[in-house]
Amino acid sequence: MSVITQPTDLLRRQDPQMADVLDGEARRQAGTLQLSAAENFTSTAVLATLGSPLANKYAEGYPGARYHGGCEYADLAEKAAIERAKALFGAEHANVQPHSGSSAVLAAYAALLRPGDTVLAMGLPYGGHLTHGSPANFSGQWFTFVGYGLDAGTGLIDYRQVQDLARAHRPKAIVCGSISYPRHPEYSAFREIADEVGAYLIADAAHPIGLVAGGAAPSPVPYADVVCATTHKVLRGPRGGMILCGAEFAERIDRAVFPFTQGGAQMHTIAAKAVAFGEAARPAFATYAHRVVANARVLAGALEERGFTVTTGGTDTHMITADPAPLGVDGPTARGRLAAAGMVLDTCVLPYGDQRGVRLGTAAVTTQGMGEEQMRRIAELFAAALRGEAAKTRTEVGELTEGFPPYGE
């Protein structure tokens, strides 16, 4: 954990209280199992870049057209991030400034829509993101969202229903993407439906974009008008967002990010995004992305053997959603018992009914070097934790994580 403890050592003299917080978090991450589908361990190179003096730099605008002086290195960082993103995803244009995945979606709407427009997206009760029409979010307040669902039996997107809703509501944009859909969306089917009703197609690929980078998932780039993504999930970069699009939308997207929805970009984060894109372009990352999926498939199968109902019967991605009801607990209770035993994951909606399940992912544990043997072990530990064997299971989780330190010894 040297990369984490070094800054903490400096900080300890100056601010022991905050040094304790950072130490505690580093120990928590290393000593428990990070199974949140949205999290990962960035490389030490990414962490070092985030802690560099570029964090001090103001650089409103875009490379070569800044509102601030002294941007020569900021420009080099952003140009590298843009070029690497375009090459990695085969996109004509990339905007690497969005502060988060939600900021990327906000900018995509700002570029393509007017307030009051109708948008068709996965309904929140089925796995749509907050930015896909939640009444608590700008999306639900400023646009008229229509939600498509999932087939209650298979848990899969029903493209006939998407088409029927598109024909009935004539949306200005269709959003494909979800926080809990473990299968690949059929981007070509969404494209056909969007074309039939004259809608833009926005892919919110926040989760699968890292698998796309590693060639382990189909790319939305050839199909969607605009692709929104995060850089911190499977992609393993710094916390942030990104937009990919064709040349025809480049200017509108850039203006929608800055100055319409954001001010100065975080240049240290943009440099760290460039580092992550560089890492993701290497063969080792493709191996990693395929291992993430292989691990998720093994873990899904092992959970099913232990009594969980795995939605859609498995996974194509890093993500598993499962109903623990056959084990006598609901999602929130399962999350609590697993957390008490040192296994961290989230709850999620399920494609049927109104009870919640659990959502987990293999991106972080795969970065740590865990493989199929450890996935089967994790399923065993899940079952033990849900039986109420918290203390014993917590010790066993500690033994497992000790062999796979996220940042080396």
By annotation, the residues acting in catalysis are: 58, 60, 204, 230, 233, 239
Residue 93 as a binder of ligand PLP (CB under 6 A): the answer is: no
200 three-state secondary structure:
strand
Position 359 contacts ligand PLP (CB under 6 A): no
Asked if 367 contacts 406 with a C-beta cutoff of 8 angstroms, the reply is yes
Applying CB under 6 A, the site for ligand PLP has a residue count of: 15
Decide if residue 177 touches ligand PLP (CB under 6 A). Answer: yes
The kind and range of the H/E element at 242 are strand 241-245
CA distance 37 to 46: 20
Question: Least CB distance from residue 48 to ligand PLP, whole Å?
Answer: 22
To ligand PLP, the closest distance from the beta carbon of 179 in angstroms equals 4
3 state SS for 117-183: CEEEEECHHHCCCHHHCCCCCHHHHHCEEEEECECCCCCCECHHHHHHHHHHHCCCEEEECCCCCCC
Q: How far apart are CA 211 and CA 44, in angstroms?
A: 21
CA-wise closest residue to 191 among 222, 147, 151: 222
- Minimum distance of ligand PLP from residue 204's CB (angstroms): 4
Give me the least distance between CB of 102 and ligand PLP, in Å please: 3
Cα 22 versus chain centre, distance: 23
Q: Which of 38, 224, 234, 320 binds ligand PLP (CB under 6 A)?
A: 38
Nearest residue to ligand PLP, by Cβ distance, number only: 101
Cβ–Cβ under 8 Å, residues 67 and 204: no
Distance CA 60, CA 108 (A): 19
User: Out of 5, 100, 134, 355, which residue is the one contacting ligand PLP (CB under 6 A)?
Assistant: 100
Dihedral angle, C-alpha 281, 283, 284, 290, nearest 10 °: 100
Chain-centroid distance, C-alpha 164:
29
Which residues in 204-263 contact ligand PLP (CB under 6 A)?
204, 206-207, 230, 241
d(C-alpha 264, C-alpha 97), whole Å: 9
Per-residue x/- track, 119-158, ligand PLP (CB under 6 A): ----------x-x---------------------------
Among 179, 216, 227, 243, indicate the residue that binds ligand PLP (CB under 6 A).
179
Nearer to ligand PLP, 181 or 407 (CB): 181
Measured in Å, how far apart are the chain's first and last C-alpha atoms?
A: 6
Of 128 and 301, CB closest to ligand PLP: 128
Q: Which of 32, 34, 95, 102 binds ligand PLP (CB under 6 A)?
A: 102
Least spacing, CB of residue 103 vs ligand PLP, in Å: 7
Q: Which residue in 61, 101, 208, 361 binds ligand PLP (CB under 6 A)? A: 101
| Rounded-to-integer distance, Cα 81 and Cα 92, Å | 14
Smallest gap from residue 9 Cβ to ligand PLP (A): 30
Which residues bind to ligand PLP, rule: CB under 6 A? 38, 100-102, 105, 129, 131, 177-179, 204, 206-207, 230, 241
